[in-house]
Amino acid sequence: MPHGKQPALHELTTTLCAPNIALSSPSGQISRGDGTGLYRQDRRSLAHAAFGVGAAELVPVGSAAGTGHTRFQGLVRGHGDTTPDVGLHYVHDRTLTADAMRETWTLHNVSTESVTVTVTLNAATDLARMDQVKGGEQPALLDPSATEAEAAWKLDDCEVRLRLGSAADSVSVTDGDITWSWRVELEAAAARAFSFEVEQHETEQGGFLPKRPEPAVGLPLPEAASLEGDHGRLLRRSLADLDGLQLSDDGTPGTAFLAAGSPWFLTLFGRDSLLAARLLLPLSTDLAASTLRVLAARQGTKHDPDTEEQPGKIPHEQRRVAIDMDGENPLRLPPLYYGTIDATPLWVCLLHDAWRAGMAESEVRELLPALRAALEWVRGPGDADGDGFLEYSGSAGAGLSNQGWKDSGDGVRWADGTIATRPLALCEVQGYAYEAAIGGAAVLAAFGEDASTFREWAADLRERFRASFWLDDEHGRYPAIALDGDKRPVSGPTSNMAHLLGTGLLDAHEAELVAEQLGGPALNSGYGLRTLSAQVRGFNPFSYHCGSIWPHDTAIAVLGLASEGFHEQARALAEGLVHAGPAFDFRLPELFGGTDRGAGDAVSAYPSSCTPQAWAAAGATAVVGYLQGWNDPASER
């Protein structure tokens, strides 16, 4: 999606229990005019929710977050204190369930005197679509119906209801903003709580309305795992977020998957959900199996240029409504969109790995038709021009121009900074395709089917890749990020080459060359793997895909290096990523700045990064597992 007008998220506090997300300032307030709010099903349920005490100043002093719960604490300054110490404190508890948000705001009088104050609660909503919020729009507030005990708002097929725990003394509405007031007499050492609950309902049940699975899929840690130190803190936070990100088609765990990330991508994404489930295979084959089923149910069956559906193709994402964003780089996507080059081979790779990890034979057998269709797509429609490589031209109109994981418009560029022309054949996608063909053939053969054609295709791909993708320039010898529209290898070392490790596409010497690139200071920032070498002109440590650090990308590199036996480079990247954890309170975001630890640079946020993000949390879990010794990718080869 366009990034220029996105609200900054890096200083916000997120409370999550999918499909509900609450974003607020560190004080707990939800304010009009920024990205804060309560969100559900790609709508903003609340755009304003703030407690106050007359004209006094509320001073936040700290917060603590858990699974589905955040506690904010603060002082009430300027209400008439007669000593240097503030006599009124507050505790603000926010609890999210899969159905509602409950807020409890408790005012404590810790002074030796009684006080009389007026407590207010302001609330408003615009029921803005998520794409409007992400695009920086500010829709008008909706007119509410409000009483001293509740309020309601309606727009299109959404209805939001807010119910107070106790009726207010008065209520007023100004320009869509509701104010409830209570006059409070508080004795010394006494406290009084004020609460409300918010629910959003869809009056029309059509379209994609994912729910939380009940029960959620468990991600039990092996006995060798440790929850001590920074490793343990990163592991605990990641597992809590992964639990909060779980969604399903209809509430049953058999259709569970990980939503991509909060807040923009809290829905089903083919690539993201598959990679996250794959990174978590040491903990669960159940999540992998259900993710595979959910995506197989949406596997393409026909040719549709509007949605980019093709027979056998796994979709990119599904939402309830279309994405429609204007601006310099408009984006319009249908509710079920197939604009991805890598989800289909990644689906096959996950099925193979889950089968190897112990996925039930009956579950694998049920997916064999989808497996055959996916493999036929890989060696058929996935290779649009018949040159033997998977490539994409990008969506017609205002869809995604780049359809690999680096899907921003400038995500694939030459060493001089020039954006590469499409169609593009990404290097990592050829690795996924090779691994899918070999792994998919192994699954088919185990169930008594002839898979020799897929093995032969993979062998040919390996030779084609070796002849076409390798570069030798001032940066060394390395595989190009892509072949451009003229079949030229695009120069400049990138993190994409890391995804080739462990796929089988490279021989031992080629893997060593890649390991040397990944271990060097141009790509290894000391906090993780940069997406683009710091030695090329296109490098920008705060670019979305051209110099930043993505935890899942680093995790894939760590596991790939380890699988090929390059543990020195793997440990350096893994420990760097863990070192970045405290800067984010151990909740690694979607991405962060590719700054230089060796030069003394601090860990730096990417302001509009999603937090939490499924593959970031899964990547952190996988990296900790590698460092602790219970996630050994070499044992899977």
pLDDT band of 386, cuts 50, 70, 90: very high
Query: Which pLDDT does position 637 carry in this prediction?
Result: 52
Mean pLDDT over all residues of the chain? 95
pLDDT digits (tens, 9 = 90+) for 111-144: 989 999 999 999 999 999 998 998 888 899 999 9
Asked whether the predicted pLDDT for residue 34 surpasses 90, the reply is: no
192-222 residue pLDDT tens: 999 999 999 998 878 899 999 999 999 999 9
Query: First and final CA of the chain: distance in angstroms?
Result: 37
DSSP β-bridge partners for residue 74: 60, 90
Q: Which pLDDT score is estimated for 395?
A: 85
List alpha helices for 307-421, DSSP H.
343-357, 361-366, 368-378
Q: How far is CA 168 from CA 179, 190, 415, in A?
A: 10, 20, 63
Cα 516 off chain centre by: 29
What pLDDT score does 600 carry? 97
What is the pLDDT at residue 1? 43
Task: Please say if the pLDDT value at position 343 is more than 70.
Answer: yes
Tell me the two tokens of residue 136: 């920086």
C-alpha torsion 589→549→271→513, nearest 10: -150
The C-alpha atoms of residue 578 and residue 620 are separated, in whole angstroms, by 8
pLDDT value at position 32? 86
HSE, CB side, 13 Å, CA atoms: give it for residue 625.
25
For residue 576, CA distances in Å to 276, 294, 595, 599 come to 20, 35, 12, 14
Handedness of CA 572, 281, 496, 554 (dihedral sign): negative
pLDDT of residue 636: 57
What pLDDT score does 206 carry?
A: 80
Alpha carbon distances (Å) from 38 to 85, 95, 210: 34, 12, 17
Q: What is the pLDDT of residue 2?
A: 45
Overall average pLDDT of the 371-399 stretch: 94
Mean pLDDT across the stretch 416-440? 97
Are 613 and 620 within 8 A, CB to CB?
no
pLDDT at 4: 52
* Lookup: tokens for 81: 């204190």
Nearest CA-CA partner of 549 in 631, 633, 620: 620
The pairing of strands 170-174 and 177-186 is antiparallel
